[in-house]
Amino acid sequence: MNVPFNRTFVSGREIDYLADVLRSGKIGGDGPFTARCNSWLREQTNCGKALLTHSCTAALEMAALLLEIQPGDEVIMPSFTFVSTANAFVLRGGVPVFVDVRPDTFNLDEALIEAAITPRTKAIVPVHYAGVGCEMDAIMAIADRHGLFVVEDAAQGLMATYKGRALGSIGHLGCLSFHETKNIVAGEGGALLINDPRFEKRAEIIREKGTNRSQFLRGEVDKYTWTDVGSSYLPSELIAAFLWAQFEEAEAITRQRRSLWDRYHSALARVGESGAVVLPRPPPTCAHNAHIYYLLLSNLDARSAFIDRLRERGVQSVFHYVPLHSSPFGKRTGRTHGTLSVTNDVADRLVRLPLWVGLEALQDGVIQATLDALRPAGSQAKVLERGLARPG
C-alpha cells in the first residue's frame, strides 16, 4: 500500500477550460472565467462582493490594506495557524497578538479575546481550523463593543457554515484559499469576500495596483490612473479557468469528503472512546467541509512513533502548524496574551490522516494501518475481528 497524504482531485473539464482561455489569446486577469468565479462565490457565500486573488495570502494582505493597519496596530489572532495570517499584518507594521485556542475545535478562544484588547487593537482575525467555524456570534459582538474589525481567515473553510452562514461571509472581510492542499483547488489562488460595503470600491482599486482600472473597464471613468496604494493581486485567467471546473464540482467534492471523514470517525470511534486518542469534535453549530481528519495522540513522542509506524505501512500522515508565537519571527514581531497552553499541547499531539477524493478504495487499508499503529507492538488484531469495519 502506498497512500499519499494528499492527491489533487481533477474533474476532467479543467483542461477544456484552460484550452478555451489559450484559444482566446487573453490569459491576463479579470476575464470571463474570473467573472464567473466571482459571481459563484458571491452566490455561494451570500457575501456582498467577491474578488479572486492569486492566493489567500494576497487576500489577507488586501484586508490589511483596507483596514489601514499602521505600525504598532495590534491584531488579535491564534498562534495555531499558517504564517500568512500574521505576515499580512506584519507587512504593514502591525503587531500580532497571539491568543490561545479552544481545546475542542483549536479555533481562537472567544472567551480570551476581550482581555487581550488594548487601545492599540485594530482587528480580530479568527481562523476556521479544519473548516470548522469559530464562535462568530461572540466574536462579532466583542468587535462591535470595542469598535474593531473582523477578518475571517477562512482559508480552509469553503463549503462550510456557522449557524447556516458561509465561513468568510460573517466578518467585515473574509479570505479563502484554493491552494492545492485545500478541498477546492487551482494550484494557487484565493479570494477576498467583502461583507462591509464600505470596502467594495477601494478593494477593486487595491487589487488593481492602486488604479481605477475596473471602473474604466465598466465605462465609469474616461481613463484610468493611479488613485491609491495597491499591488497586483489578480490571478491569471488560467487559474480562474481551472478553478471554475472545480466550482462546478464543489458540492460533489464536499459530499465525498464528508463521506470519507464520517467513515474515519465511525471506524475509529472505539479507540476514541477508549481514550487512546482524541478524535475531532465539531460543534453542532457548524457544518464542516471535511477539510481535515486528525487525531490527538498522548504526547509528542507518541505522535512521532505513530507517524513512523504509518509510514512503515505505506501511509503518509503529517502533523500541522508550529505555533507562530514559538517561531523566531513570531517572537520578534508579535506578543502573546496568556500561556497558550492549549496551542502548545495541540501542536505537539496532532496528526492528520490522508483525506482526498479518490481515497475510498484505500481507506479501509488506512484505517487498519491506523489501528495497528495505535496498538502496542505485537498486538495487530484485524479490524474485522474487532468489529470496526464498515457496517453491513
Question: What is the DSSP pairing of strand 161-162 with strand 165-166?
Answer: antiparallel
Each residue's pLDDT tens digit, 220-233: 888 889 999 999 99
Q: Same structural domain for residues 231 and 90?
A: yes
Q: Same structural domain for residues 261 and 162?
A: no
Q: Can you give the pLDDT at residue 324?
A: 98
Q: Same structural domain for residues 271 and 362?
A: yes
In a domain, 4, yes or no: no
Q: Same structural domain for residues 254 and 234?
A: no
In a domain, 8, yes or no: no
In a domain, 34, yes or no: yes
Q: Same structural domain for residues 242 and 378?
A: no
Q: Same structural domain for residues 46 and 36?
A: yes
The Cα–Cα gap between 325 and 77 comes to: 11
Distance of CA 11 to the CA centre of its chain: 22
Q: Same structural domain for residues 289 and 225?
A: no
CATH number at residue 140: 3.40.640.10
In a domain, 2, yes or no: no
Q: Can you give the pLDDT at residue 222?
A: 87
Q: Same structural domain for residues 204 and 326?
A: no
DSSP state of 74: E
Which of 248, 283, 300 lies at the terminal end of a domain, its last residue?
A: 248
Which of 197, 232, 248 lies at the terminal end of a domain, its last residue?
A: 248
In a domain, 6, yes or no: no
In a domain, 129, yes or no: yes
Name the 3-class secondary structure at 3.
Answer: strand
Q: Same structural domain for residues 257 and 281?
A: yes
Cell of 28: 491576463
Q: What angle do CA 350, 154, 336 make, to 5 degrees?
A: 60
Q: State the residue range of the domain holding 225.
A: 14-248
In a domain, 261, yes or no: yes
Q: Same structural domain for residues 277 and 141?
A: no
CATH number at residue 256: 3.90.1150.10
In a domain, 392, yes or no: no
Q: Can you give the pLDDT at residue 223?
A: 87
The count of domains in the chain is 2
Q: Same structural domain for residues 150 and 255?
A: no
Per-residue pLDDT of the chain (392 residues; tens, 9 = 90+): 899 999 999 999 999 999 999 999 999 999 999 999 999 999 999 999 999 999 999 999 999 999 999 999 999 999 999 999 999 999 999 999 999 999 999 999 999 999 999 999 999 999 999 999 999 999 999 999 999 999 999 999 999 999 999 999 999 999 999 999 999 999 999 999 999 999 999 999 999 999 998 888 888 888 889 999 999 999 999 999 999 999 999 999 999 999 999 999 999 999 999 888 999 999 999 999 999 999 999 999 999 999 999 999 999 999 999 999 999 999 999 999 999 999 999 999 999 999 999 999 999 999 999 999 998 643 443 433 333 333 32
Q: Can you give the pLDDT at residue 275?
A: 86
For residue 323, give every residue at least 6 positions away whose Cβ sits within 8 Å of its Cβ, in sequence order, or none. Answer: 79, 80, 98, 330, 340, 343, 344, 347
Which of 248, 283, 305 lies at the terminal end of a domain, its last residue?
A: 248
CB-based contact 96:324 (threshold 8 Å): yes
- Burial (CB count <10 Å: 0-12, 13-18, 19+), residue 139: buried
Q: What angle do CA 384, 315, 253 make, to 5 degrees?
A: 85
Q: Same structural domain for residues 238 and 375?
A: no
